[in-house]
């Protein structure tokens, strides 16, 4: 584990949601505790795993690192509920979720904190790779051409042309996540809506180096469906409507809103073609 080198700077809260994956929880906690940026509070929430293995897996780090707080939920909150719980426990200026199947370079947090060099930057993420652990295959997916120096309308359209669900795991300004604390609507592609919502209020910076690895334990990537959401109508319509609502409520001009809504529509069509037709041939 890399010793934390940076001990000053704003407090960063890291929430680790985990369930029944003790080795993954240990790996994630080690990676976060070993960040070169030291001013962290680390919050681990075990979402009512069926046994004590997860708690045992992280106990050694919890015992020796006072920055770590561990919670074991008595009942399963659901994935979204566990994410909300972690955000509710955070006190730092910046916040990020760290999934129990992912990996980070030791400089990830430090580089992301440095990316908040403009008042309108709401999130910072690095380029990333996807690791399929079952086969060892590694891919580096395309990322949107976001540019904090460009307009809000430009960045929103850039994201919609190359939607990046992984931006959910960026480092965020915590005061920009209030909408998520009380969210009750959960739908397929919510992670894309999450970033769209943030882009209607500010800018997102992407660090050009690959400092983050999205781990996939299965052989191939599978879109995580909301339980019971099998009809095409129920799969895509909520994302479209929620995205249009956020765009309408933004301070974009009428013309910019029209372009953004049109681009969102094309994005939904592309998602449909990809996930409902091409991947089922």
As given in the structure block, the two tokens for residue 82 are 């566990």
122/63 same-domain check? no
Q: Which pLDDT does position 76 carry in this prediction? A: 97
17/96 same-domain check? yes
Backbone φ, ψ for residue 260 (5° rounding): -65, -40
Spatial CA neighbour of 238 closest among 175, 189, 272, 176: 189
Domain encompassing residue 151: 115-281
User: What's the domain count of the chain?
Assistant: 2
Instruction: Let me know: does 35 contact 109? Beta carbons within 8 Å.
Output: yes
119/156 same-domain check? yes
43/84 same-domain check? yes
DSSP string, 68-114: EEEEE-SS--HHHHHHHHHHHH--SSEEEE--TT-EE-TTHHHHHHH
Q: Which parts of the chain have pLDDT scores under 50?
A: 1-3, 229, 281
pLDDT in tens, 77-107: 999 999 999 999 999 999 999 999 999 999 9
15/97 same-domain check? yes
218/146 same-domain check? yes
In a domain, 106, yes or no: no
Q: Which pLDDT does position 268 carry in this prediction? A: 93
CA distance 46 to 28: 13
Q: Please report which helix (H) or strand (E) contains residue 209, including its range.
A: strand 203-216
| Nearest-10 crossing angle of helices 22-33, 53-64 | 20
Instruction: Give the domain-ending residue among 76, 101, 126.
Output: 101
Q: Which pLDDT does position 150 carry in this prediction? A: 98
248/199 same-domain check? yes
Q: How far is CA 137 from CA 166, 189, 240, in A?
A: 18, 24, 33
In a domain, 110, yes or no: no
CATH number, domain containing residue 71: 3.90.550.10
Q: Which pLDDT does position 2 carry in this prediction? A: 47
136/72 same-domain check? no
151/27 same-domain check? no
As given in the structure block, the two tokens for residue 90 are 């955070």
pTM for the model stands at 0.91
Q: Which pLDDT does position 6 carry in this prediction? A: 56
97/225 same-domain check? no
């Amino acid at each position: 584990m890399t010793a934390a080198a940076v001990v000053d700077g704003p407090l960063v809260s890291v929430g680790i949601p985990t369930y029944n994956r003790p080795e993954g929880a240990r790996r994630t906690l080690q990676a976060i505790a070993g960040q070169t940026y030291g001013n962290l509070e680390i919050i681990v929430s075990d979402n009512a795993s069926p046994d004590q293995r997860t708690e045992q897996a992280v106990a050694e780090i919890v015992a020796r690192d006072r920055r770590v707080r561990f919670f074991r939920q008595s009942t399963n909150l659901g994935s979204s509920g566990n994410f909300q719980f972690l955000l509710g426990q955070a006190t730092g200026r910046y916040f990020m979720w760290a999934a129990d199947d992912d990996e980070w370079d030791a400089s990830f947090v430090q580089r992301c904190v440095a990316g908040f060099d403009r008042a309108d930057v709401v999130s910072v993420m690095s380029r990333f790779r996807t690791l399929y652990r079952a086969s060892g295959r590694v891919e580096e997916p395309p990322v949107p051409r976001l540019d904090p120096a460009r307009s809000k309308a430009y960045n929103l359209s850039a994201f919609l042309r190359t939607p990046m669900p992984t931006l959910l795991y960026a480092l965020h300004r915590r005061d920009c996540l209030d909408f998520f604390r009380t969210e009750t609507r959960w739908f397929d592609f919510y992670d894309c809506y999450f970033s769209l919502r943030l882009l209607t209020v500010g800018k997102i910076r992407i660090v050009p180096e690959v400092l983050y690895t999205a781990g996939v334990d299965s052989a191939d990537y599978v879109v995580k469906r909301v339980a019971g959401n099998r009809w095409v109508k129920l799969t895509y319509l909520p994302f479209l409507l929620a995205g249009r609502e956020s765009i309408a409520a933004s301070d974009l001009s009428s013309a910019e809103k029209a372009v953004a809504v049109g681009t969102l529509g094309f994005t939904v069509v592309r998602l449909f073609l990809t996930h409902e037709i091409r991947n089922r041939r």
